[in-house]
Copies of this chain bind each other. A is one copy, B any other.
Amino acid sequence: MTKRAIVASRRRVGVAPGRRRRTYHHGNLRRALLDAALKLVEAVGPKGLTLRATARLAGVSQAAPYRHFASKDALLATVAEEGFKALTRAMREAIGPLAGNPTAQLQVLGVAYVGFATSHSSHFRVMFEVADREAYPSLRAAADGALVILKGVISDGQKAGLVRAGDPADVALAAWSVAHGLSALLVDRQLVELGQKSADELARGVTQHLLTGLATSQSADAGSLRLC
């Protein structure tokens, strides 16, 4: 292939028209691929995502991603890991202002979880669809981060006598189930008939019901109801 032909072909393939790269190197292709993957999941779902389409959307050749990710699975695992880190951050930020009030913290955690799921639905869907989490230790660690926060708040609540006693893991499972269930139903669009309410309102209502169940009689009338 002549030099002329190569240049012409590059022009043909191009990047997004009008945004042709000025340099041969991309600059931050790793980041661009992750973003492209998220956009694709949004458009066609996790099972419709292909590595070739991701490269295409990022404006590079189909082989380019292999400079940054060992395989398609590795790309997805990275997306999932970033998702868990963002979720953990969101949860941490939600409970920050409420230090010392575990009951309120528990509710905002639920709301934060559902909020993350609906506003980052591509992340959320990938997070729970990575085939083999054990193959990616840093993903595994990131996923644990969120659970650690939840368990901490619950055990704080128990120490303060505001949350039912019992294995924190059991109580955490109940809390996690509500938040995860509502999130999954919303993200999978199973709830079209409840359309008029915002995800936030739904989350507040649903977690409220659970919280009342988790509260001790001491806190039931005071703490848990304050937020609504």
Contacts and interface: CB of A to CB of B under 8 A. Distances in A.
Contacts of A32: none
Interface string A46-76: 1100000000000000000000000000000
Interface string A194-228: 10000000100110111111100000000000000
A191 interface: yes
A32 B215 CA distance: 50
A180 interface: yes
B169 A176 contact: no
B182 A177 contact: yes
Interface string A156-174: 0000000010000111011
Contacts of A45: 131
Interface of A: 45-47, 128-129, 131, 164, 169-171, 173-174, 176-185, 188, 190-191, 193-194, 202, 205-206, 208-214
Nearest to A203: B177
A87 to B, nearest CB: 13
A61 B129 CA distance: 31
Contacts of A46: 47
A182 B180 CA distance: 8
A180 B173 contact: no
A206 B184 CA distance: 17
Contact of A210 (B169, B174, B191): B174
16 contacts: A45-B131, A128-B184, A128-B188, A128-B190, A164-B209, A169-B193, A170-B205, A173-B206, A174-B178, A176-B181, A177-B178, A177-B182, A181-B181, A181-B182, A181-B183, A213-B214
Contact of A177 (B129, B170, B173, B185): B185
Nearest to A169: B194
Q: List the 9 closest A-B pairs by CB distance, nearest first.
A: A181-B181, A213-B213, A177-B181, A212-B213, A180-B181, A47-B47, A177-B182, A174-B209, A209-B213
